[in-house]
Amino acid sequence: MGTSKGRSAPARLETGVPGLDEVLRGGLWKSGIYVVLGSPGTGKSILANQIAFHHVRAGGRAAYVTLLAETHARLLEQVGALSFFDPGAVGSSVRYLNAFAPIESGGLSALLDALRGAVRDHRATLLVLDGMVTAGMLARSKIDYKKFINELQTWVGLVGCTVIILTSAPAGNDNDSDPEHTMVDGLLELRTIALDMRAVRQLRVAKLRGSGFIPGAHHYLIGADGLRVFPRFEAEAGSPRSLPDAPGPASVGVARLDRMLGGGLRAGSMTLVLGSSGSGKTTLGLQFLAAGAAPGEPALHFGFYEQPDDIRRKGDRFGLDFSGMVERGALELSWHSPAEGILDVLAADLLERVRRRGIKRLFVDGLVGFKESSYLERLPGFFAALSHELAALGVTTVVTEETRWLLGTEVEVPTPGVSAIFQNIVFLGQMETGSQIVRLISVLKARDAEHDRSVCSFDIRKDGIQVGGPLRPPEDATARIAPAQERAARQRPRRKR
């Protein structure tokens, strides 16, 4: 009997688009046909060019065929400004061709011949077909169009060429039966959606034959490097992993509060510091950072309001030597605008900093920066995943959140569903007693620790927070805070729908 031959195991074609290969669990399949669907302006051409130039850098050859899309000059002007663009590759390993004339005169069979010619003459291993909506319009019938896709699919499978089809076909009732969608190996959608008054970009993989992928929507940004996709954080980060052995408890930098917490914060835990504006949350966070950074635990301040210089000066004023710690690389101060943020972008930046510097202490000031960057419904799942990820990295985290009332002892976690995610909750309050305002501090929750349940007074002095003794009647706020302690201990996040 003669020889037996066949195709070797299917291989992946990496897109090279940061985050996208992660969403695709490794990339596209070589010799497959993929459709990228999106309205004008969503970045389809940039995405395809980015993939093409990455493919060429990896040794492949690409043919970029346009139908009734923008002119090549305009296209090159647009992508020429992006960092992935290599002018030296244009005309050699990346070739731009227009195939409108063949399709206009000879229909889809002439287009198929033109595409085959483009791949063959150029020895292309990646073919981009831009403006496919035109082919759909010029097709005599749906069957005709289906036949075209089928023939193209068989042919590229044989010659080992991967095809990316860009189309702006609007999503409609008939979308599901569209040959582009039913017959191809993968379907990616790019869209711009409204988030309150903002517009954000999202990518969704609707289909990927022969591979798992991270389902649902993922934010993406278009910048000087092209597209960057941010896989939806909680979809991946929540997966089980082993947690490092926790070293001894981490001091918060306030000795009396450490005792109230039952010895400090468990390493790898996440603590919520609740309090009104001006109650001392940031000061407590700075002391927490300094208590770790001074003896050598890399620390990160991740803030949304005060700029790094302000934070550094504030730390110095409390005698915490922030300038010295920053200079020695023990402390990093970062700032993010609380406006126009995107939750997954923040998470990616936070974890990148944590991993890069081996951060062990993290102070997030405050939760509102994340709240403003997403839908509230996402936050419980997001913070559960973030907490898990940080714990796995051995990071002890303190997060602040502002309560609604400037004065008083009413305790309420303003972000619904997140309190159960925090292992510890510390409340900083301010109460009017006669002509004075008294600051008070209480540990509402300290998971797995015998904590002090008393309500104590505290002051902010030139060396930071000093906690005094327990308050006594009539200014005793315990009666009002104690139920809050119970609530905080009981509260569980709402189920995600």
By the criterion CB under 8 A, which residues form the site for other proteins?
Answer: 1-7, 31, 116, 120, 147, 150-151, 153-155, 157-160
Q: C-beta of 390: minimal distance to other proteins in Å?
A: 45
- CA-closest candidate to residue 135, choices 96, 176, 104, 91: 104
Q: C-beta of 179: minimal distance to other proteins in Å?
A: 13
Which lies closer to other proteins via its Cβ, residue 106 or residue 247?
A: 106
Q: Tell me which residue has tokens 């709240």.
A: 371
Strand order in the sheet with 186-195: 94-98, 62-66, 126-130, 162-167, 33-38, 186-195, 198-208, 217-223, 226-230
Q: C-beta of 120: minimal distance to other proteins in Å?
A: 6
Residues 383, 12: Cα–Cα separation, whole Å = 33
Sequence letter at residue 135: A
Residues 185, 346: Cα–Cα separation, whole Å = 32
Residues 346, 352: Cα–Cα separation, whole Å = 10
Contact criterion met (CB below 8 Å) for 116 and 152: no
Q: C-beta of 172: minimal distance to other proteins in Å?
A: 27
Q: Could you count the other beta carbons within 10 Å of the beta carbon of residue 105?
A: 8
Count of positions (residues) in the chain: 497
Q: C-beta of 116: minimal distance to other proteins in Å?
A: 6
Residues 367, 363: Cα–Cα separation, whole Å = 10
Which lies closer to other proteins via its Cβ, residue 61 or residue 266?
A: 61
Which lies closer to other proteins via its Cβ, residue 40 or residue 210?
A: 210
Q: Tell me which residue has tokens 């309500």.
A: 455
Q: C-beta of 178: minimal distance to other proteins in Å?
A: 19
Which lies closer to other proteins via its Cβ, residue 10 or residue 329?
A: 10
Which lies closer to other proteins via its Cβ, residue 55 or residue 360?
A: 55
Handedness of CA 413, 417, 422, 423 (dihedral sign): positive
Q: Where are the beta strands (DSSP E) in 133-247?
A: 162-167, 186-195, 198-208, 217-223, 226-230
Residues 333, 143: Cα–Cα separation, whole Å = 60
Which lies closer to other proteins via its Cβ, residue 150 or residue 433?
A: 150
Alpha helices (runs of H) in 334-490, residue ranges in sequence order: 343-357, 368-371, 379-392, 478-490
Q: Is 314 exposed, middle or buried (0-12, 13-18, 19+ CB in 10 A)?
A: middle
Q: C-beta of 152: minimal distance to other proteins in Å?
A: 9
Which lies closer to other proteins via its Cβ, residue 92 or residue 150?
A: 150
Which lies closer to other proteins via its Cβ, residue 155 or residue 305?
A: 155
Q: Is 26 exposed, middle or buried (0-12, 13-18, 19+ CB in 10 A)?
A: middle
Residue 324 φ/ψ, nearest 5 degrees = -65, -40
Residues 377, 102: Cα–Cα separation, whole Å = 51
| E strand or H helix at 234 | helix 233-237
Which lies closer to other proteins via its Cβ, residue 120 or residue 461?
A: 120
Which lies closer to other proteins via its Cβ, residue 160 or residue 244?
A: 160
Tokens of 217: 């929507």
Name the pairing type of β-strands 424-433 and 270-275: parallel
Which lies closer to other proteins via its Cβ, residue 149 or residue 345?
A: 149
